[in-house]
């Protein structure tokens, strides 16, 4: 097999490797997939505005987030069920992020336990993504396990009090094939993704288990039971960002859940400047959604993000070539970002700013 040379080629090859149910689960968005596609097309609306005659013989990609040093401003977003893509799943992803010294956010709904993932990393550049379940005792136990295993932040997903309507999953009656399981939950409560007729099993799980009543008081409750910093994933409005600041949140991930929740919602990139203006550099801001090229990362950083997270492309890498595929995905993005910086006249991340973009409103 000829080695893919970009993320789009990985996506095409991944489709050939995955079952139709797994492919549809990973690829699809909510309803008409308007937001899913908008996440990509918004990047195309910004033009790069490079400067010349700058010494770019050395490109510095180092950054930090919540005081932790990273080798690249590219982390891995929390994604459920990675073992659907490859038997090594989350283990392969964890090994790659450890080798690259960059951030991994592990999903509550991972198919490998949070403890096992932690043992695969030589550092603690890992956060635990948390869904707040109806059973607060279960939620508290997950937080305690994450602390004990050396996770350094809790990433609370706030854009999924209920699950968006994902029609591909309904059509396929999505469920986890045996022997895959909810590795973080099965030993605690024997929770599983139910097999349902005419419905997505994951949708049924959310209806049964995830608490739709969560408010800012639940963020306060989490802060009362843990010393870990709280990161909120799914903020799209400036006023919500200000509330996050008031509630002591330490970082925000600007995200629309990869277009998988509210169809028609604003794209992550369009939401980013509003969040940056609202928080006025008081906390770190991360962005995910639609990243496929190094130039996409450059644009997100220029609009104020400290770093970006990559989701689906990691799954394509897993499906095509396991750990090696994931490593190549991140290497491609790293190299493309370094190239974009060099050709734009930006030798370091600190120098990237909005002056290097011509926005669609200009």
What is the CB neighbour count within 10 angstroms for residue 305?
27
- Does residue 80 have a known ligand-binding role? yes
- Does residue 166 have a known ligand-binding role? yes
- Does residue 157 have a known ligand-binding role? yes
- Does residue 163 have a known ligand-binding role? no
- Does residue 293 have a known ligand-binding role? no
Which listed residue (86, 133, 257, 328) is catalytic?
Answer: 257
CA distances from 215 to 78, 211, 249, 263, 323 (A): 21, 10, 14, 22, 38
- Is 86 annotated as catalytic? no
- Does residue 107 have a known ligand-binding role? yes
- Does residue 78 have a known ligand-binding role? yes
- Does residue 25 have a known ligand-binding role? yes
- Does residue 79 have a known ligand-binding role? yes
What is the full DSSP assignment across 106-140? Answer: E-TT-SS-HHHHHHT-SS--EEEEE--BS-HHHHH
Contact by Cβ (8 Å): 288, 297: no
Element housing 90 (H / E): helix 89-100
What whole-number distance in Å separates Cα of residue 33 and Cα of residue 256?
12
Nearest alpha-carbon partner for 14 in 26, 2, 32:
26
Nearest alpha-carbon partner for 102 in 327, 336, 348:
327
Angle made by CA atoms 127, 132, 138, in degrees to the nearest 5: 95
- Does residue 260 have a known ligand-binding role? yes
- Does residue 194 have a known ligand-binding role? no
What whole-number distance in Å separates Cα of residue 60 and Cα of residue 107?
30
- Does residue 181 have a known ligand-binding role? no
- Does residue 131 have a known ligand-binding role? yes
Which residues carry a binding-site annotation for FMN? 78-80, 107, 129, 157, 233, 255, 288-292, 311-312
Q: Write out the catalytic residue numbers.
A: 257
Which residues carry a binding-site annotation? 25, 78-80, 107, 129, 131, 157, 166, 233, 255, 257, 260, 288-292, 311-312
Which residues carry a binding-site annotation for glyoxylate? 25, 131, 166, 257, 260
């Amino acid at each position: 097999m000829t080695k893919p040379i970009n993320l789009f080629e990985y996506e095409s090859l991944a489709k050939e490797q995955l079952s139709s149910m797994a492919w549809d689960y990973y690829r699809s968005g909510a309803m008409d997939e308007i937001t899913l596609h908008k996440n990509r097309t918004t990047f195309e609306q910004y033009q790069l505005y490079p400067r010349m005659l700058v010494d770019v013989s050395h490109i510095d990609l180092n950054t930090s987030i919540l005081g932790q040093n990273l080798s690249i401003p590219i982390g891995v977003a929390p994604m459920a069920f990675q073992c659907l893509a490859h038997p090594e799943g989350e283990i392969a992803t964890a090994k790659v992020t450890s080798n690259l010294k960059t951030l991994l956010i592990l999903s509550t709904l991972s198919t490998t336990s949070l403890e096992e993932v932690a043992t695969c990393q030589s550092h603690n550049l890992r956060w635990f993504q948390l869904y707040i379940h109806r059973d607060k005792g279960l939620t508290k136990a997950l937080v305690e396990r994450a602390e004990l295993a050396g996770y350094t932040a809790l990433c609370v997903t706030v854009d999924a009090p209920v699950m968006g309507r994902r029609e591909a999953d309904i059509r396929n009656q999505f469920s986890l094939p045996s022997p895959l399981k909810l590795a973080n939950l099965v030993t605690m409560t024997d929770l599983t993704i139910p097999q349902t007729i005419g419905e997505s099993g994951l949708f049924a799980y959310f209806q049964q288990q995830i608490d739709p009543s969560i408010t800012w008081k639940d963020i306060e409750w989490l802060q009362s039971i843990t010393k870990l910093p709280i990161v909120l994933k799914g903020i799209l409005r400036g006023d919500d960002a200000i509330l996050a600041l008031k509630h002591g949140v330490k970082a925000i991930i600007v995200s629309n859940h990869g277009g998988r929740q509210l169809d028609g919602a604003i794209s992550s990139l369009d939401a980013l400047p509003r969040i940056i203006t609202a928080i006025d550099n008081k906390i770190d801001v991360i962005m995910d959604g639609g990243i496929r090229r190094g130039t996409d990362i450059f644009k997100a950083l220029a609009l104020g993000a400290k770093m970006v997270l990559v989701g689906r492309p990691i799954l394509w890498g897993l499906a095509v070539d396991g750990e090696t595929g994931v490593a190549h995905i991140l290497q491609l993005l790293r190299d493309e970002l370094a190239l974009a910086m060099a050709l734009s006249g930006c030798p370091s991340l600190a120098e990237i700013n909005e002056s290097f973009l011509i926005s669609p409103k200009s």
